[in-house]
Structures are given as C-alpha cells and as structure tokens.
Structure 1
Amino acid sequence: MIKIYHNPRCAKSRQGIAFLEEKGFDYEVIKYLENTLSVKELKILLDQLDIKPIELIRKNEAIWKSDFKGKEFSNDELIEIMVKYPKLIERPIVVHQNKAVIARPIENIDNVL
C-alpha cells in the first residue's frame, strides 16, 4: 500500500494526493501533524528516503529561522527537533515498497511507483 505523509493545508501535499488519485492508486493518508512520528518512525522514513535529517527540514519555516538556523546539530538532535516540531518536515512524502520520495516536484512520486 502506498502511504502519503500529508498536511491538508499544504497545496503540494494536496497535489500529491490528486496525483495518486489520477493514476488510480490506493493509498493511505498519514496526517503527520496530528499523529506525530516517533523517533523510530522518523529514522525509518529517513532510511527509506535515503537522505540525512537536515535534508528533510523545511528551512523557511518561522520556527526554524527563529530557533535553529545557523546552529550546529547532530543527526539525532535534528530528528528530535522534527519529532517535537513536525511542521518542519518536508511534504508530501510518498512511501511505496520500502522506498520513499519527497514529492517536490509531484512527478517524483513516479520514482517509487
């Protein structure tokens, strides 16, 4: 089953769902702002994405700019920050068969289907 980590207020996230619907795929929506990821879940997601934690962070978010920008953090600290502030997690993320992509641009979804 395809999973999409989704923020309903995000246009790109909504486009990701529309993309999956247009292609006729069944998918599970994970509203990660409501059901916050654990450290373990986030580490698994990072492995599936094959990226470092800093690459998953939305650096234009106000909380990043005010509290974290310009400071040095370990990977584990960055994961803890994203767990505490899930709004910092890039979106949408699409997972299929143990592989994941950040769907920006939306066409990246094809890379895991």
Structure 2
Amino acid sequence: MGAAPLLLTAARAVPAQTAEAQVVKIVAQRFHYTPGEFRVKAGRPVLLEFTALDFVHGFNMPDLKVRADLPPGTVTRVALPAAPPGSYDFVCDNFCGDHHEEMHGRMIVEA
C-alpha cells in the first residue's frame, strides 16, 4: 500500500513530459539507408517510418536498445524514446549481401 501514492505521482508526471513524436521516413535498400544521417531534437520521442525496397533488412540501434526487422512492401514503424543530445549509430543486422557491413547510419540528437 505504501507504493500506491508513488505510482500515482509518477503516472501524473508522464503526460506533462510527453511531446509529439518527430517522424523520420527512411528507405532501406541494399546497401544503404536513405537518409543515412538525420537530426532530431533532444527531449522528444522519435518515430522512424521504414520502407524496405528489396530485402528483409534489419534496424539495430544498440545505444538505445532498439531493434526491428524491416520487411519489404510495408511501412515498419519504430518508436524511439526521447534521447539526450549526442550521436546514435544504427546498422542493418540482417545479412543482405556482399556490402552488408556498409549499411549503417546515424541519428544526431541536438539540444
């Protein structure tokens, strides 16, 4: 019973901090993401909308512990939490051919 007031307080604080997500559209195609680098504002959640053109690519952003498969022919939405300023690398983690290791990108979070 002692935890209930704490949970209520935390639940009330969340809506006040919630910001509209920044939407970034990304195309995944052997052997690159377009755009390969993009910028977002700190403190706001991000919604990535992926379209894979030719293969079931992967998306892995280890620093934020976010991973998804990107099947072709559909839009795959990946929600990222609000992140502090910095640079966050992501890679394709589904082997997609000879130049697979070159398929990577970067999200830059600006203050």
TM-score bracket for this pair, using the shorter chain length:
under 0.3
TM-score of the two chains, using structure 2 as the length reference? 0.24
Q: Which has the higher helix share?
A: 1
Structure with higher strand content: 2
TM-score, length of structure 1 as denominator length: 0.24
Which structure is higher in RCO with an 8 Å CA cutoff and minimum separation 6? 1
Larger Rg: 2
